[in-house]
Structure 1
Amino acid sequence: MTDSDQLVERKITSQKVFSGRLLHVYFDEVQLPDGTTSTREWIKHPGASAVVPIFENGDVMMVKQFRYPMSQIFYEVPAGKIDPNETADSTAQRELQEEAGLSCKSFVYLGHYYPGIGYSDEIIHLYTAWDITSFDQQMDDDEFVINNRIPFKEAVDMVHSGEISDGKTMVAILRAWHWWQNEGPFSVSSDQ
């Protein structure tokens, strides 16, 4: 096969087998490129936004949070699911306020990525924020996080050492670092 269109699988049937508060699980029958059929189990997700807040001195705000499926505490950037009738931009701004207790005057979209393409349609939109103002956190009742302000370069090093191992956080930190160094308001290229 040389034409990418020849890789497409076509949905024949779809059955929702589980409906939760956040996730919905489907069992589909599909026609494969060679005409045979197979099944696919996949999770429908509302999408999410993640934001890397950068302070004037170059620190970033990370949150430490316990994640039940892995039974461990992770360093993460502020992030959360997109609520109904909410844009990815407004989700990022809301999560910045709720989890980190921050607001920003400047905000840029860094793109998106798909964390689980083999089993989920989840998309995570990535942002960076600066011109930061701090205030009290406004977390959800069932949410417990500890804020940690870390030098940006140290956060990048933590990604490479494995100390930061959450996928969205790794991608967000590395994209934000690249943007900050090459296009950001204080980058060498923006001064030229």
Structure 2
Amino acid sequence: MQPDAPEVAADALADRSGSWPVVGSEQAWQSDWIVALREDRVHRPDHVDDAHTRVVLEHPGAVVVLAVDDRERVACLRQYRHAGPGWFVELPAGVLDSDEPPLETAQRELREEVELAATDWRPLATLRPSVGISAETQHVFLARGLSHADRGDFELHAEEADMEVFWAPVEDMVEAVLDGRLTTSALVTAVLAYDALRRRDRA
């Protein structure tokens, strides 16, 4: 880092959308389950002789819900994840349906996974977990005003069928994140973002 590198203004602290020129693209692999791999040949603007291949993990996006009750406890679940591998403490979450707004997906996932409904919803964060390879966007919501909601005819299956559901105080979760005992990126971001809002009286 150069000591004379410029300091940007506060309102300039934002990601920018856009794309370098793509000169070729092909589907490298297609899964029956959510994701696919795409290979693109791209080059820097005005550098057509510098084309290079980048692999993109296509993903429809997801929602994550930090559900906090009136005792400042968070609705959590512990679930087996084969890629981990291991059992991870997570928040209610799910993949976006193509025709469903993120908020509706979040409300549905909260009901299906932990049998809760909420009267107060607000966006908490937007995550791009690995922009070097993945196109996934995660929409993180804060849910308050919780009450029981039956999941209806939805049936848990695979890893969900064995997940453990429990409550954890926000303060305990913050400490577990800072100690490195909780590691999933969406949970870490949601917990620390909520804690930051509380400290600014904005929660």
What band does the TM-score fall into relative to the shorter chain?
0.7 to 0.9
Residue 177 of structure 1 deviates from its aligned partner by 2.1
Could you say which residue in structure 1 is the equivalent of 2:111?
A: 97
Residue 136 of structure 1 deviates from its aligned partner by 4.6
Residue 17 of structure 1 deviates from its aligned partner by 1.4
Residue 42 of structure 1 deviates from its aligned partner by 1.0
Q: If the length of structure 1 is used for normalisation, what is the TM-score?
A: 0.87
Could you say which residue in structure 2 is the equivalent of 1:60?
A: 74
Superposition pairs for residues 91-130 of structure 1, below 5 Å?
Answer: 91-130=105-144
Q: If the length of structure 2 is used for normalisation, what is the TM-score?
A: 0.82
Could you say which residue in structure 2 is the equivalent of 1:188?
A: none
Unpaired runs of at least 5, structure 1: 185-192
1:25 lines up with 2:44 in the alignment: no
Could you say which residue in structure 2 is the equivalent of 1:10?
A: 21
Structure-2 separation of matches of 1:108 and 1:139? 27
Could you say which residue in structure 2 is the equivalent of 1:183?
A: 202
Residue 95 of structure 1 deviates from its aligned partner by 1.1
Q: Is the CA contact (8 Å cut-off) linking 1:32 and 1:38 kept in structure 2?
A: no
Structure-2 separation of matches of 1:161 and 1:139? 35
Q: Is the CA contact (8 Å cut-off) linking 2:36 and 2:57 kept in structure 1?
A: yes
Aligned residues: 181
Q: Which amino acid aligns with 2:23?
A: I
Q: Is the CA contact (8 Å cut-off) linking 1:31 and 1:37 kept in structure 2?
A: yes
**Of 141, 166, 190, which aligns to 2:157?**
141
Structure-2 separation of matches of 1:62 and 1:139? 19
Residue 150 of structure 1 deviates from its aligned partner by 0.6
Q: Is the CA contact (8 Å cut-off) linking 2:75 and 2:114 kept in structure 1?
A: yes
Bigger strand share:
1
Structure-2 separation of matches of 1:28 and 1:97? 39
1:131 lines up with 2:150 in the alignment: no
Could you say which residue in structure 2 is the equivalent of 1:190?
A: none
**Of 29, 35, 38, which aligns to 2:52?**
38
Unpaired runs of at least 5, structure 2: 1-5, 7-15
Q: Is the CA contact (8 Å cut-off) linking 2:102 and 2:139 kept in structure 1?
A: yes
> Residues 139 and 126 (structure 1 numbering): CA distance in 2 closer, same or farther, change over 3 Å?
farther
Could you say which residue in structure 2 is the equivalent of 1:167?
A: 185
Residue 111 of structure 1 deviates from its aligned partner by 2.8
Q: Is the CA contact (8 Å cut-off) linking 2:125 and 2:190 kept in structure 1?
A: no
Q: Which amino acid aligns with 1:150?
A: A
Q: Is the CA contact (8 Å cut-off) linking 1:61 and 1:150 kept in structure 2?
A: yes
Deviations 1:119-164 (A, max 9, x none): 1110000111111002455553232321120111111111111111
